[in-house]
Each structure stands twice: as C-alpha cells, then as structure tokens.
Amino acid sequence: MSWTRHFLDRYLRIPSVSAQGTGMREAVALLVETFRELGCEARVIETSGNPVVFAEKKTPGAAKTLLVYNHYDVQPPEPFDEWISPPWVPTERDGKLFARGVADNKANLAVRLGALKSLGDRLPVNLKFTVEGEEEVGSPSLEGFVAKNRALLAADACLWETGGKDEQGRPDIICGVKGILHAEAVAKGPSRDLHSSVGVAVPSPAWSLVHALAGLRAPDGVVTLPGFYDKVRRADAADREALRAMPYDEEARKKLYGIKEFVGGVSGEDLKEALVFKPTININGLMGGYQGKGSKTVLPKEARAKFDVRLVPDQDPVEVEAALRKYLAMFGVELVEVHGYPPARTPVDSAVVKAAVESAREAYGKEPWILPLMPASGPMYVYRALMPCVSFGAGWPGANIHAPNESVQVADLAPAQEHVRRFLQNLAAVVPEAKPTAP
Ligand SMILES: [Zn+2]
C-alpha cells in the first residue's frame, strides 16, 4: 500500500478544480508520469476543454481488455473555514484521510493504479485508462472525445469511477447512473417592475411561474408532466432481488436529513424503488421580486426557477426537454440553460457485474450489495454505448463528497485495492468478449 499512499498524497496536493480552472495541467503531468512509471504507454489527448489522460498497458496473450474511467478534477473546496485541516494538505486523523477529492474520486484511481503496480507483469488483462478533467462540471467534452477515439477505447468492459460501502461495511457494486437535465424556467411580464396595485389587471410572471411549476409535480411526488413516465423501464426480477437485498436504514436517513417522513409517506420496498428506479423533478432555486427586509408592494417583471430532472432508463432527455418546453409554454414560461445527459445501466445479472460481485466477496470476505442504478448522475452513457459498465471503489457513507472535510477511511484502501486486483483476475475468466472474433 505504501506506493498507493505515496501516489495519493502527491495527487491530493494538486488543487485540480475544473470549475475554477486550477491545477489541471499539474494533475495531467502527474498522471502521465505515474502511468509511465507503471509501464503504461500514456499520452495527453486534447479536447475542446480540459484534456483527457489516456494510458494503456498491453498484456501478451490476454484475451480481455478493461477500460477504466476516472476524473482528475474535483469540486471547489469552499467554504475553507469549515475544513478542520486544509483541503490541499492530505491529513490523517481518526483513521481517516482528509483532502478535497479524496473520495470523489482520487483514492479510487489510486487503488486501481496500486492494483496494477502490485500485479506487475502478472497482469491478466489488457488495461486502458481514461482520466478526464471535466466530470465535476458536467463532462462537456467527453462525448466528443469518445466519438473521436472509439477504436482507441475498444474494450470488453468498463470500470466506472465511483463506489464504496454501507454502514455495515458491505461493499456496493454499482450498475448504472441516473441521467440528468438541468434547466431554468423564466417567466416574463411587464417591461419593468410595477406598483403591485396593478396586479389586479396586469399579468404577473411570479404567478405564471408558480402555476407552471405546480403542474409539474403533485404533492405526493408523482410527476404530472404529460408523458413523463411513458418510457420508464420497469424493474425486472433480478432488479427486484437487488432492491430487496439493498440496505437502507430509513430511520437513520430521516434523522440525517432532519425530516419526519419521505415524500408521499413512502417507505420499505417502495422507498427503495423510488430512490433507485424512479425519475423526478427537483426545484433547485426560485428567484424573483423583492427579497429584502420588510415589505415592498411590487409586481416584479420577471421570475425564474432553476430545476433538475433525474432521468431513468429509457427516458430520453431530448424528449423530456421537448415535453417540458411545450408544457411551460402554456403558462408563457420559457425554458433556458438546458443541458444534461441520459441515464445508463448494465443489467445486474450480466457477466461483468458477476465478476465484480465475486471479486468483492474474495477481497472483503463479505457479501456485497448491488445498486442497479445510482440515485445520482454521471456521464456513463458515453461508455455504456460501447460496452457494459460496472463501478466500485473506496468510498464510505461519511465521505462528505462535494462538502468540507471530505475523507476516505484509511483501512478501506487495502481491501478496495484487493477488490480491483481480484476483479482483473476474474474478468479474464468470466466476461465474454464484447465483439465476436472474426471466423
Ligand atoms: Zn463529484
């Protein structure tokens, strides 16, 4: 592990914040240097944004190829004063290693590289790595990068960037991610703010926005946008089995979130199904009119709402956007700043998932649990269009990703690395090749 810890320590000291444009080239340089040290061919592939580091290690006689996806960018560290130790100084405390980006997802790359290092010339598969630098800002260049480099990225399976364990220490195996659509709804009315006394006769953009939003989701959480659920794929028998085995401590979560009950009073299997398999529309922020102290009798000329839509297979973000646009237009509300990507998933009973599960059993001596679809989103669809994808890593429930005092548990690094090592070995044995060999 000392090699892994040493690399991680150097990697964590680089403030590679894509949103602020810092540390990008430094991170790229360290990665290229490290890949070469590990016997990989490595190069920097420029994109329209931050570059992708591509590395490859070929194994003579190996039939299978694994493509690994990670990102070298991290979230901004602010607010600084909430960090107990500085975000760019990796610090061990109470068995945890604290630094910005350690859980999301620098430690995951470190244990993957550590596994490669430990296998040396006994690597049982061909390995390819892609480490991008824009994941935390929505991966705007990733689709273009993959489209231009399809032949280079050809592989039998993809190991995605994220994963961890639950409160009982059971590792999770992630088979997919939700898609997302970010958007802003804008209601416009009079050419300037007016005295509110005219509100009896002059159309109010704030009311238009409220009426429009109210029609998108019912109080029980059901989305009422016409056609929204039409393409939602139903959970199959294997999905249901995974849901049943999925740990979810409702009472602990309610306490953590400070809520009395979940939306619509849902609980048990229905709650887990909602979290994993159901799409939703979430309001991120409402803006408009007077927000200052006291009262102001004004009819504001404009009102806005930022929202996101979490999408599940087989919803199409383009179709959902069109439906939203059409619906909001009935209230005179316009949709702007729309961007996002589709969901992606690999079946829970596929060979690559089975290899990940078996490897977790071997590495942790515990039964892992399968998450068919992460409630969060990521650009997995770009890779999933080419091959099956699975994800596991070194995270833990208290990791504070995207928040101050992000951490991994130091004791998790060794089994997480062993998980990767076993996965490489099992992958060689079980996963069928993506493309049939020519006769
Ligand atoms: Zn993240």
Domain ranges of the chain: 2-175+346-430, 179-232+278-341
Distance 138 CA to ligand 1 centre (A): 10
- State the average pLDDT over residues 316-339: 96
Distance 386 CA to ligand 1 centre (A): 23
pLDDT at 435 over 70: no
pLDDT at 433 over 80: no
Distance 122 CA to ligand 1 centre (A): 33
Distance 201 CA to ligand 1 centre (A): 47
Distance 217 CA to ligand 1 centre (A): 27
Distance 416 CA to ligand 1 centre (A): 19
User: Could you tell me the pLDDT band of residue 428, with boundaries at 50, 70 and 90?
Assistant: confident
Domain boundaries 179-232+278-341, corresponding CATH code: 3.30.70.360
Distance 136 CA to ligand 1 centre (A): 5
Q: What is the pLDDT of residues 205-238, one digit of tens each?
A: 999 999 999 999 999 999 999 999 999 999 899 9
Candidate CATH numbers 3.40.50.2020, 3.40.50.300, 3.40.630.10, 1.10.3720.10; the one for domain 2-175+346-430 = 3.40.630.10
Cα–Cα distance list, 304 to 197, 209, 225, 308 (Å): 22, 7, 19, 14
Distance 20 CA to ligand 1 centre (A): 15
- State the average pLDDT over residues 74-98: 97
Distance 160 CA to ligand 1 centre (A): 13
Count CA atoms within 13 Å of residue 125 on its CB side.
28
Distance 328 CA to ligand 1 centre (A): 31
Amino acid at 63: A
Distance 379 CA to ligand 1 centre (A): 11
Cβ atoms of residues 130 and 52 within 8 Å: yes
Distance 234 CA to ligand 1 centre (A): 28
Q: Among 21-30, 371-380, 385-394, where is mean pLDDT lowest?
A: 371-380
Distance 355 CA to ligand 1 centre (A): 26
Distance 74 CA to ligand 1 centre (A): 7
Distance 272 CA to ligand 1 centre (A): 22
Work out whether strand 280-288 and strand 302-311 pair parallel, antiparallel, or are unpaired. antiparallel
Nearest to 91 by CA among 410, 411, 415: 410
Cβ atoms of residues 101 and 45 within 8 Å: no
What are the residues facing 158 on neighbouring strands?
67, 389
Tokens of 400: 């504070």
Per-residue pLDDT at 55: 98
Distance 161 CA to ligand 1 centre (A): 10
User: Could you tell me the pLDDT band of residue 436, with boundaries at 50, 70 and 90?
Assistant: very low
Amino acid at 70: N
Distance 101 CA to ligand 1 centre (A): 8
Please give the Cα distance from 401 to 186 (Å, whole number): 31
Cβ atoms of residues 215 and 319 within 8 Å: no
Q: What is the pLDDT of residues 353-389, one digit of tens each?
A: 999 999 999 999 999 999 999 988 989 999 999 999 9
pLDDT at 1 over 90: no
